[in-house]
């Protein structure tokens, strides 16, 4: 399970080599958020970032997305193609319908059929004409997933996409995400607080340390997802707990 290095020949999609990201506060003090941060993502892999609260996980995603340019170092996207993001909040345009929100993310008019399939897969087929305010949070998150996958991104970034959902809903959405990712393979990088969620979805977990954050540990989950036993999951959770004390201890 916890093989140290996976020697697969998949090409690198993203190469992060950030030296530092510091934030200046209004009172002149500085917050050293990200230290020497190095990692790379292989094509069509699913990587989860787990780390203590406030350690710079979201900052890392924002730097990759180009929303935060205040860092020193390099972030290289090796594969051409669009980026897609699923934010903590669904960030749907409230004045556009479900379908318009998804369509607007596309660079040009794509075939109806491919969107139909996506809406069907996410159980949104009947909801295309509704406005976001008419949806529950769980449904709005599905729309955010639809928007991201519709783009067929080279790199998909997810920032705690299932936070503040009740567990059964979160579980369903995890399963949907996994199914979508298998049907439309892409390189996925997901930030999560939920260590168990990481063990379900990821084939690699990057463990981030306290500020200034860097990668403390890389856990490769080589066992296929459905073959992972409770013992495998416990082993990963224990290793995570050893690195990040805020990850709950396995009972």
In the complex, least distance from residue 216 CB atom to other proteins, rounded to whole angstroms: 26
Pairing of strands 30-34, 12-24: antiparallel
Pairing of strands 187-192, 155-159: parallel
Does position 93 bind other proteins by CB under 8 A? Answer: yes
Using left for φ > 0, alpha for ψ between -120 and 50, and beta otherwise, residue 215 falls in beta
Q: Is 239 helix (H, G, I), strand (E, B) or coil?
A: helix
Q: Residues 155, 148: contact at Cβ < 8 Å? A: no
- How many C-beta neighbours within 10 Å does residue 51 have? 27
Does position 95 bind other proteins by CB under 8 A? Answer: yes
Binding residues with other proteins: total (CB under 8 A): 58
* Identified binder of other proteins from the candidate list 110, 193, 196, 225, rule CB under 8 A: 225
In the complex, least distance from residue 245 CB atom to other proteins, rounded to whole angstroms: 27
Site residues (CB under 8 A) for other proteins, limited to 148-187: 151, 165-166, 168-169, 171-172, 174-176, 178-179, 182-183
Residue 35 and residue 56: Cα distance in Å, rounded? 10
* Burial class of residue 15, CB neighbours in 10 A (0-12, 13-18, 19+): middle
Mask for 190-219, x = binds other proteins (CB under 8 A) = ----------x-------------------
Applying CB under 8 A, which part among 2-10, 24-32, 72-80, 85-93 lies near other proteins?
A: 85-93
Site residues (CB under 8 A) for other proteins, limited to 111-150: 120-127, 130-139, 147
In the complex, least distance from residue 214 CB atom to other proteins, rounded to whole angstroms: 25
Query: Which stretches of the chain are assigned E, i.e. beta strand?
Result: 12-24, 30-34, 37-42, 46-50, 71-77, 83-86, 155-159, 187-192, 204-208, 215-220
- DSSP letter string over 40-67? EEETT-EEEEE--TTSSHHHHHHHHHTS
Mask for 51-70, x = binds other proteins (CB under 8 A) = --------------xxx---
20: β partners: 72
In the complex, least distance from residue 36 CB atom to other proteins, rounded to whole angstroms: 26
Mask for 1-40, x = binds other proteins (CB under 8 A) = ----------------------------------------
Pairing of strands 46-50, 187-192: parallel
Residues in the site for other proteins, rule: CB under 8 A? 65-67, 82-85, 87, 89, 91, 93-97, 100, 104-105, 107, 120-127, 130-139, 147, 151, 165-166, 168-169, 171-172, 174-176, 178-179, 182-183, 200, 224-228
């Amino acid at each position: 399970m916890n093989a140290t290095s996976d020697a697969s020949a998949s090409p690198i999609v993203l190469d992060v080599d950030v030296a530092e990201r510091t934030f200046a506060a209004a009172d002149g003090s500085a917050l050293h958020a990200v230290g020497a941060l190095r990692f790379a993502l292989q094509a069509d892999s699913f990587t989860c970032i787990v780390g203590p609260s406030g350690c710079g996980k979201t900052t890392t995603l924002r730097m990759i997305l180009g929303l935060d340019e205040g860092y020193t170092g390099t972030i290289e996207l090796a594969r051409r193609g669009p980026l897609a993001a699923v934010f903590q909040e669904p960030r749907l345009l409230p004045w556009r319908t479900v379908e318009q929100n998804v369509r607007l993310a596309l660079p040009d008019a794509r075939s109806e059929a491919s969107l139909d399939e996506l809406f069907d897969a996410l159980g949104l087929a009947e909801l295309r004409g509704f406005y976001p305010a008419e949806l529950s949070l769980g449904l709005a998150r599905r729309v955010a997933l639809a928007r991201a996958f519709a783009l067929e991104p080279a790199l998909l970034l997810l920032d705690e996409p299932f936070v503040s959902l009740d567990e059964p809903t979160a579980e369903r959405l995890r399963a949907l995400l996994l199914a979508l990712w298998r049907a439309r393979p892409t390189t996925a990088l997901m930030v999560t607080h939920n260590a168990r969620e990481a063990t379900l979805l990821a084939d690699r977990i990057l463990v981030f340390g306290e500020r200034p954050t860097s990668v403390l540990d890389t856990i490769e989950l080589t066992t296929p997802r459905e073959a992972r036993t409770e013992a495998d999951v416990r082993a990963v959770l224990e290793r995570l707990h050893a690195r990040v004390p805020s990850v709950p201890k396995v009972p």
